[in-house]
Amino acid sequence: MVALETLVYLAVGLTVMMIGYFIIDLLIPVDFPKEIQEGNKAVGWVSAGIYAGLGFIIRSAIISITVSEAQELLEGVISTAMFAGIGVVAFLIGYFVVDIINRKFNFGVELGKKNEAAGIMIFGIFLGVAFIVSGVIQ
C-alpha cells in the first residue's frame, strides 16, 4: 500500500505543481518558457521558487494526514490538491503585494530585463509564503 500511496501522491504532486506553475506564468507578465529558453536566470529562480514552495506545501499536506484505506487516500489527495491551490493563490498575493508596496521597481519589468536579483527576491517570497502555509497545515 505504501508504494501505491507514494505513486499516487507523486502523480498528484507533480500535476499540481505543473498546474500551479502554469497559472502563475499566466498572471506574471513574463513568458516563462520563452525566458527560460533564452537563459533568463531571474525567471529560473522564480520557477524554482514555485516548484520548491509548492513541493514544501504538498509535503506538509501529506504529512498532516494518515492514510490507511482507499477512502482516506482519496480524501488525502483532495486535501493535498486543495492546500496546493491555496499555496498558488498565496504565492500570487505575496508577489503582487510586495510588487505594489515596493515602488522603486516593478517585478514584471525586472524579470523581463533578466534581473537575477529580482528573481531571487521572488523565490524568497514564494518560499516564505510556503513556510507560512505549511505552518498552518501542520
Q: So what's the pLDDT on residue 45? A: 98
Q: So what's the pLDDT on residue 67? A: 46
Spans of all domains in the chain: 2-137
DSSP secondary structure of 31-74? -HHHHHHTT-HHHHHHHHHHHHHHHHHHHHHHHTS---SHHHHH
Q: So what's the pLDDT on residue 75? A: 87
Q: Are 43 and 32 in contact (CB under 8 A)?
A: yes
Q: Could you tell me the pTM of the whole model?
A: 0.90
Q: State CA 43 to chain mean position distance.
A: 14
Q: Are 95 and 122 in contact (CB under 8 A)?
A: yes
Q: What does pLDDT average to in each consecutive run of 10 residues of the chain (138 residues)? A: 88 95 96 97 98 95 68 85 95 96 93 97 97 92
Q: So what's the pLDDT on residue 66? A: 57
Q: Could you read off the pLDDT of 57-73 as tens digits, one per residue?
A: 999 988 887 544 455 88
Q: So what's the pLDDT on residue 71? A: 59
Q: How far apart are CA 49 and CA 73, in angstroms?
A: 28
Dihedral, CA atoms, 68, 73, 74, 77, nearest 10 degrees? Answer: 150
